[in-house]
């Protein structure tokens, strides 16, 4: 999968990585290692919907598009910021991933309730403490073996309640990985 990334997609990914190095605040994107991890987790997901809450510039969407394409599904990604939605749409199109990614402008909470059989969900919304509410919406909608990954779980603004809730939740097995700002990775039992 990683060895077959098109030249167009690599070019867009590199441009986003360079922009992120110059100005983290403008994109608030994941790192390359996190993108690769997301792609591998999504590739291992059972049949069901792929959802990304918080598109930013589309960098993580591109990584997830690799798994979506391989599995023959479409990733639905949504962001509340119109400028980021426009940027994500442009990047997805330039990378040649429009056949496997749908970018929407809208509210993450609305989109989280639109799907009943979710195989993979990546939540990277702002402010990070809202992810605790997203977790409670998504977990019941996950298919058995489905994944939810929540970014920025070690952010100073983050509510530790989500970490405690996930670790004690009998519906999921989970781990917190110390990526730059921490990722909570949960698999539905």
pLDDT digits (tens, 9 = 90+) for 12-39: 999 999 988 887 666 778 989 999 999 9
pLDDT more than 90, % of the chain: 80
Q: What is the pLDDT of residues 122-180, one digit of tens each?
A: 999 988 889 999 999 999 999 999 999 999 888 655 667 899 999 999 999 999 998 87
Rg (CA), the chain: 15
Whether the CB-CB separation of 187 and 172 falls below 8 Å is answered with yes
Predicted pLDDT at 156: 59
- Averaged pLDDT of the chain: 93
Reduce the DSSP state of residue 127 to 3 states and report it: coil
pLDDT tier for residue 181 given thresholds of 50, 70 and 90: confident
Predicted pLDDT at 157: 59
Output the DSSP codes for 153-179.
Answer: TT-TTS-HHHHHHHHH-TTEEEEEE-S
Report the alpha-carbon distance of residue 74 to residue 131 in Å, rounded.
23
pTM over 0.75: yes
If you classify domain 2-188 with CATH, what class do you get? alpha beta
Q: What is the mean pLDDT of residues 93-108?
A: 98
Report the alpha-carbon distance of residue 66 to residue 79 in Å, rounded.
20
Report the alpha-carbon distance of residue 51 to residue 164 in Å, rounded.
24
Predicted pLDDT at 158: 62
Whether the CB-CB separation of 178 and 153 falls below 8 Å is answered with no
Q: Give which of 56, 34, 58, 65 is closest to 151, Cα–Cα.
A: 34
Predicted pLDDT at 160: 79
């Amino acid at each position: 999968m990683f060895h077959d990334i098109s030249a167009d997609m690599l070019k867009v990914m590199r441009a986003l990585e360079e922009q992120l190095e110059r100005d983290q605040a403008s994109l608030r994107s994941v790192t390359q290692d996190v993108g690769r991890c997301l792609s591998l987790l999504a590739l291992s997901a059972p049949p069901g919907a792929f959802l990304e809450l918080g598109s930013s510039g589309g960098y993580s969407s591109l990584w997830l598009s690799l798994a979506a394409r391989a599995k023959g599904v479409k990733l639905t990604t949504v962001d509340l910021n119109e400028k980021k939605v426009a940027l994500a749409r442009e990047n997805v199109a330039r990378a040649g991933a429009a056949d496997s990614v749908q970018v929407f402008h809208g509210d993450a909470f609305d989109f989280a309730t639109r799907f009943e059989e979710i195989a993979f969900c990546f939540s990277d919304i702002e402010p990070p403490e809202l992810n605790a509410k997203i977790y409670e919406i998504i977990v019941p909608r996950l298919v058995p073996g489905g994944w939810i990954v929540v970014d920025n779980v070690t952010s100073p603004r983050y509510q530790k309640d989500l970490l405690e809730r996930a670790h004690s939740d009998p519906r999921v097995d989970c781990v917190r990985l110390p990526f730059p700002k921490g990722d909570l990775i949960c698999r539905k039992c």
